Amino acid sequence: MKVVIAEKPSVARDIAEVLNITTKKKGYIEGRGCAVTWAFGHLVTLQEPGAYDPALKRWSLYTLPFVPDEFKLTLIKNNGVEEQFQIIKNLCEQAEEIVCATDAGREGELIFRYILALCNCEDKPIRRLWLNSLTPDAIQAAFKDLKDGHDYDALYAAARCRSESDWIVGLNATRYYTVRHGQIGGGGDRVLWSIGRVQTPVLAMIVERDDTILQFRPQPFWELTTRYREVVFKYTGERFEQPEKAQALLDKISGQPFAITTISAKENKEQPPQLFDLTTLQREVNKTHGLSAADTLAATQNLYEAKLVTYPRTDSRYLSQDLKPRIPKILDQLKAIRAEQIAPLDLAKLPFTTRIIDDKKVTDHHAIIPTGVRPRTIGAHEQLVYEAITTQFIAAFYPVCIKNVTTVNGVATQVKFQAKGTQIVEPGWTILFPKKKMSQDAADDQALPAFVKGETGPHEPSLREGKTKPPSHFTENSLLGAMEAAGKFVEDDTLREALKERGIGTPATRAAIIETLLRRNYIRREKKQLLCTDMGRCLIALIQDPLLKSPELTGEWEEKLKQIERSQLAPESFMAGIADYIRTLIEHSSSRRLDSARWGSCPLCGKEVIKGKRAYGCSGWEDGCPFVLEPECRGVALSARQIQAMLQLHILPQPVRIDDEPRLLILSTQGLPIDLRLPSAERQKKVEKTEHPAKPPAMKVK
């Protein structure tokens, strides 16, 4: 008997239908010498430490770090899992051959191999079904081209290393920081500080961005422009930081004639957009519709299972050569819903450029495209995502957009100005995106009259005062870009492509990382923005090891996992590095203990803090240091240990300015912020408190 294991019941039903297997049994479908069964996503996971040694059930610093010599597996504690696993196990024990039909990627391989290992059936012959879509044609073609399952041993090795390294780093670091710092706030409950190999660097990126914005102080500037023949010309020099210099130039050109010196026109061609990979799809849908990365992934997965689009968890924006014959047929099928948009295309002579077809840039899966199957009733999110994928697919074959960019230079008493105007000659692919903002400066879109070189006339110069702006808070769109580029967020597609080999997480896991941080109250959503919470900022302040917060290091780990997939790196080498890293982290962090003989260092000048009658202050007060900390926050008395922890663990961001007043933001170990206004000479020294939502509930360690 041949046993086929799918990842979900719906996929198993699709496969059984294509193979004409119709007899439904408890937990599987049988017929024609074959049984098609299913998992519920992950059925098997890694054992908890207590399974290795009962003493490890208790969280203690003395048992850390714990790195198993050999990892043990167990079933996930969900309803129906044990019963379904037993069905799979019985089928596998009877099987002459087992076919892996889980999702064709790293996690799908892990799901299958973990099930196989817990069934003790790893010695059975295995085959691999590699699907890019769930249409009947694709399933039939894939079954005719089953691969030897062991061709994917390297993919499984990478998946196992990902799973085990996350376990090692997450478990040890979480236990260490929870035991070491979870009760600083006092009380009977312990705060659970959750650490992750990937989630913590992502949180650090958000905290760093928010702190940069918090500490940002706007600087004024002045821009010189002039209006000539209803066209705005900009001064070609740098904008002014001093109003006097700007005013001097304004006075110089006021009342003087303006002359056109040069006129040049250049034809610009904007290439059609590339096809979507998962990350660019998530970013685009978040930017245009505000849909979260997790919701976009879920909608795309639903579309895949409904046979409407190809496999979603891909990091490629290209198609392979063998797909070329199928593309005209897909476009022809899409005419039923997009006739007007597809009509201009010559399906017999599609422009298959290297921006569309490139075998070298197709990884496990090609770009996300529609299958041509006509959608019936789908959800609102699914409709948005399907429209985006279909429009992008059609646009890829449209002509380039041709623009004429005209640059006009002028001068007034030797002060140079410039104006630009853009004229669309051939809209090309842009007609498919009427609501989409084009990446042009608004000043470059103005209509220009017919200027003549050497013409002169009166003009209206003016000054505009502005202020520098801080960087923007992360949105899911920009955070996904930053994760893809290992913290070096860039808008340019080409540069992002070059950096994506060092990204944080994978296209399939990035949405889950964001949702995990939200669920654990380390970040929060505010409209489209993602902001760190006090809990998140406190956690990053507690973690002194820079590597644990480094997106670049995590990017290197992800690159090594890809090397394992390509059989370019031994899994043992990677795991040895992870074990060495966690040992070093625990040893280094353990050496940092509170010194009971001192309060700590002043966050302003670095001198020792001393205790007065009613408050704590800097020993350098006679030299003018104004730092004072009262041991009470919103009616909560801070203990001596809390004061020591804050001062010695440096849970103190740099001084910032709020409403143009110098302040110190200190995050208390109870999750409450203490907003210290640094006293001025005119004001008495005192601590003022900010408004803040209620303390998040403490989490008990199980």
* CATH code where residue 293 lies: 1.10.290.10
pTM: 0.81
Task: Answer yes or no: is pLDDT of 651 > 70.
Answer: no
DSSP conformational letter for 496: H
Of these ranges, 128-137, 189-198, 245-254, the one predicted with the greatest mean pLDDT is 245-254
* Same-domain check for residues 520 and 581: yes
Residue 259 has pLDDT above 60, yes or no: yes
Query: Same domain for 538 and 637?
Result: no
Q: How far apart are CA 426 and CA 557, in angstroms?
A: 46
Query: What are the C-alpha distances in Å from 141 to residues 128, 137, 212, 290?
Result: 13, 6, 53, 37
Residue 55's domain is classified under what CATH number? 3.40.50.140
Query: Got the DSSP string for 277-337?
Result: -HHHHHHHHHHHH---HHHHHHHHHHHHHTTSB--S------B-GGGTTHHHHHHHHHHHH
Question: Domain holding 427: CATH number?
Answer: 2.70.20.10
Phi, psi (degrees; rounded to nearest 5) at 452: -125, 130
Q: Same domain for 448 and 576?
A: no
- The span from the CA of 106 to the CA of 155, in Å, is 6
| CB proximity list for 623: less than 8 A, separation 6 or greater | 605
Q: Is residue 461 part of a domain?
A: yes
Q: Are residues 500 and 362 in the same domain?
A: no
Is 311 an annotated catalytic residue?
A: yes
Which pLDDT does position 446 carry in this prediction?
85
How much is the pLDDT for 334? 96
Catalytic position from the list 311, 522, 581, 616: 311
| Percent of the chain clearing pLDDT 70 (strictly above) | 84
**In this predicted structure, what is the pLDDT of residue 537?**
84
Lowest average pLDDT, out of 514-523, 601-610, 692-701, goes to 692-701
Rounded to an integer, what distance in angstroms lies between the CA atom of residue 171 and that of residue 290? 34
> Is pLDDT of 628 > 70?
yes
Q: What is the pLDDT of residue 656?
A: 44
Q: Are residues 357 and 415 in the same domain?
A: no
Average pLDDT, integer, range 73-90: 94
* Across 662-682, average pLDDT: 41
* Interatomic CA distance for residues 350 and 370, integer angstroms: 17
Domain co-membership, 145 together with 19: yes
Looking at every residue in the chain, the average pLDDT score rounds to 85
The helix (run of H) or strand (run of E) holding residue 409 is strand 401-412
The answer to whether position 472 is within a domain reads no
Q: Does 22 share its domain with 136?
A: yes
Average pLDDT over residues 57-69: 92
SS (H, E, C) 411-444: EECCEEEEEEEEEEEECHHHHHCCCCCCCCCHHH
Q: Which domain holds residue 643?
A: 593-702
Same domain, 19 and 153: yes
pLDDT band at 595 (very low <50, low <70, confident <90, very high): low
Give a yes or no: residue 360 inside a domain.
Answer: yes
One-letter amino acid at 491 equals E
User: Does 452 reside within a domain?
Assistant: yes
With cut-offs at 50, 70 and 90, classify the pLDDT of residue 247: very high
256 and 207, same domain (yes or no) = no
Predicted confidence at residue 671, as pLDDT, reads 41
What pLDDT band is residue 647 in, cutting at 50, 70 and 90? confident
Residues 368 and 429 in one domain: no
Whether 523 maps to a domain, the answer reads yes
- Compute the average pLDDT of residues 163-174: 95
Q: Could you tell me which of 394, 396, 322 has the C-alpha nearest to residue 359?
A: 322
Domain boundary among 377, 395, 413: 395
Tell me, yes or no, whether 267 and 416 share the same domain. yes
Residue 680, pLDDT above cutoff 60: no
User: Which pLDDT belongs to residue 189?
Assistant: 58
**What is the β-pairing status of strands 97-101 and 126-128?**
parallel
pLDDT at 258 over 80: yes
Question: Which range (10-14, 72-76, 658-662) has the least confidence?
Answer: 658-662
In a domain, 473, yes or no: no
Q: What's the pLDDT tens digit per position in 465-511?
A: 999 999 999 999 999 988 887 745 444 454 444 445 667 888 888 99
Last residue of a domain, one of 467, 486, 516: 467
Question: Which residues, in sequence order, are CB contacts of 188 under 8 Å at separation 6+?
Answer: none
Model confidence at 669: pLDDT above 50: no
Minimum mean pLDDT range among 125-139, 203-217, 513-527, 685-699: 685-699
Say what the pLDDT of residue 591 is: 63
Rounded CA-CA distance 519/696 in Å is 12
Work out how many domains the chain is built from and give that number.
5
Q: Which residue has the higher pLDDT, 204 or 181?
A: 204
For residue 488, what pLDDT is reported? 58
Is residue 198 packed enough to be buried (19+ CB in 10 Å), middle (13-18) or exposed (0-12)?
buried
**Residue 678 within a domain:** yes
- Give the H or E element holding residue 551: helix 551-565
pLDDT tens by residue, 524-556: 999 899 999 878 888 888 887 888 888 878 888
Q: Which residue has the higher pLDDT, 348 or 693?
A: 348
pLDDT at 283 over 60: yes
How many angstroms separate the CA atoms of 586 and 149, rounded? 39
Highest mean pLDDT among 131-145, 201-215, 409-423: 409-423
pLDDT, tens digit, for every residue of 551-575? 878 888 888 998 999 999 999 999 9
**pLDDT of res. 668:** 40
Residue 684 reports pLDDT greater than 90: no
Assess whether 318 and 349 both reside in one domain. yes
Task: Return the pLDDT at 648.
Answer: 67
Specify if 440 maps to a domain: yes
Where residue 692 falls among pLDDT bands split at 50, 70, 90? very low
pLDDT at residue number 206: 94
Of 136-140, 619-623, 644-648, which gets the smallest average pLDDT? 644-648
**Residue 326 pLDDT > 50:** yes
Enter the tokens of residue 3: 């046993």
Q: Which residue has the higher pLDDT, 181 or 59?
A: 59
Average pLDDT over residues 274-286: 95
- Beta strand spans in 204-246 (E): 220-228, 231-235
- Which of the four pLDDT bands, split at 50, 70 and 90, describes residue 633? low
Closest-CA residue to 235 (of 482, 417, 396): 417
> What CATH number is given to the structural domain containing 512?
1.10.460.10
Last residue of a domain, one of 559, 590, 621: 590
pLDDT at residue number 267: 93
